[in-house]
Amino acid sequence: MPGIVNGEYVKITGVWIKHNVYGEQFKGLSFEKGELITTAAILHYLSSRAIKGVGPSLARKIVGRFKEETLDVLENHPEYLVDINGISSKKAKQISEDFKSQFAVRDLMMFTKDHFSPAMTMKMHKLWGAGAINYIKQNPYSLCDSIDGISFAKADTFARTIGVKSDDPNRIMAAIKYALNYNASNNGHTMVPRDTLINLVASLLELPEEKIYEPFEELEQMGEVVTEKYANTQVTYLATYYDAEQYIVKKLTLLDKMCAKEPVNDIDRLISQ
């Protein structure tokens, strides 16, 4: 299971199943990490080489010195570690950073365990590091923007469970981008009439249309969507699709200027060659 290292205590929830070859087996569905409370548990954890640069011998020195305060020292006072023979200031800092990274994964797993798989949670940690929980709390819709495999619907369900309001601007902006992406991927259209898009997003989120306008304009100001006039209608693109279309237009225009001109009445002969 991702996020578990040797020496940690875990509580695994699951079911017993019957395997055709190996017989009765326990299938884990979720897990929780146990607290490292006693000095024995802390020593066992550190001795397992879970922390880079800390083996059994150094673990005994650290736990022998700081006892139940060991975890607090590792997280908040790494400078205390230099009092132990064999630990330099640089090594103390590395030990603390590795320890905090592992416990950040642990906390993130607990924060997301009812909604995302451990593998998906590890993607979040890899992208945002130790500050992942705060980052996600500030805008849970960054999950569907930044993590491949997390849909708007999944991010929205998670966001609502942590208290995001139905008219939160981040929710509305994420829905606008989702609608544009969906339309491009499933219908082949890189743009949508602006009024149609606003109506669609309002219906999707079950909000009045007037709630959509301000977040829509914020996306335009941020450069994430582009609105322009086409055939007397205001249409909106995701900026990535707009830029791609403009690039194609420039290349086709360049080709047209560089290619030799041939008479139209002679086109059949040229095709047959």
Q: pLDDT tens digit string along 135-186?
A: 999 999 999 999 999 999 999 999 999 999 999 999 999 999 999 999 999 9
Query: How confident is the model at residue 250, as a pLDDT?
Result: 93
Spatial distance between the Cα atoms of 259 and 26, rounded to a whole number of angstroms:
68
Query: How confident is the model at residue 184, as a pLDDT?
Result: 92
Query: How confident is the model at residue 30, as a pLDDT?
Result: 64
Q: Are the C-beta atoms of residues 24 and 2 closer than 8 Å to each other?
A: no
Q: pLDDT tens digit string along 85-104?
A: 889 999 999 999 888 887 78
Beta-strand runs (E) in the chain: 10-19, 23-33, 191-193, 225-230, 233-238
Using 50 as the pLDDT threshold, list the residues of the chain that sit under it.
none
Query: How confident is the model at residue 71, as a pLDDT?
Result: 86
Cα-only R_g, the chain: 28
Query: How confident is the model at residue 32, as a pLDDT?
Result: 63
Query: How confident is the model at residue 202, as a pLDDT?
Result: 97
Query: How confident is the model at residue 51, as a pLDDT?
Result: 86
